[in-house]
A and B are shown apart, each in its own frame.
Chain A
């Protein structure tokens, strides 16, 4: 039987907090990325409208950051159920809180990087078309920050919380 000391009543608070943090910070990062690079794209579109479609890449990558956060939040929410169906231990609660915080805050970091890089990058792409490859390369470096957070936490959830 589950040890009552290990499954206190306030344990789901941390799990729900993990879900909240994942979505909140992930979306904050994606919003900053979209907004900052959107400013650059708006500037580019005035002078070179033919470059707009290729300049939308930073915006797409910011959206992917939000998707990472969404997937982790859904994974955590799938592990939670009201008391009769689920004995939710404090360990699981902390694990979910840590996963949500990690994915959310790394998403925030990645979104910040993508925003700054996207803004400056599309403005420079307007003047020098050879810059495109370099811009995409640096955007990918920024994207993998969010990916690292997602991978470590996805693995942690799958490996540690099947009980």
Chain B
């Protein structure tokens, strides 16, 4: 199930942990629970509410986002997960001029990668949702009205030239159809401050590219507006991949800039702090359970010899393993 829900989007370290422990477990924390109550009690006739998760580096923003994504997938929402918006504004090998609009630039590689992952996570939705307009891709190729959205995605994957336009079509269709209420849409964007910053991309004549000239960013910005209803928008700010921002910046206004703040306003900010003492305890109890941490007074006499799967990090935990019991709030969620 992990592969189906998260073809992309889990942080690198967490993926290594999944591989090591053979199970995907994350800690239930207050920010995520807060978001769940908001989502549950939100009125889907009202315009979509934007939530911005912010916090210092390494406090668990991406993990909170993934938790929310998993929760909504379990409840049957359609999840539009963009793992890292920073990947779309930097290190782009191929930039093509857009055939649809003058002056815009396409990114075929990034668009096709994203389409592939989107297809993997939302197969059954793509069969049900039908297009509402005819889209002409080239001289002979076109998608008629009423065909399932999966065909648009196939078209984008088959012809990388049209991949970015295919992404734009998908986003537009989902936004329009969500208002009818047949499904709920969760837009989850990690690193949303990339959409309003600067890019490191240059055109062939070395002139810099601003974000709105990229088709992908332009279409995503349209989705971030709250002029649609029937879903929610959950985003994270991230300094780690951001461009031209100091490494101590973590507050919304610093990372989003004036443009971004005005575009997202009014939003609900959700701060994610570092682990509290109890959370830290439950975290290392989990590691002890998985035999990842080796203990000086190890339980079994061979406790020094074999650590967990793959050999543990030899830290000496201070208090012994019969410390305070875990509270229910900090129980771990096992994702099979």
On whether the two chains bind one another, the answer is no
Hey, which bits of chain A sit against chain B, CB under 8 A? none
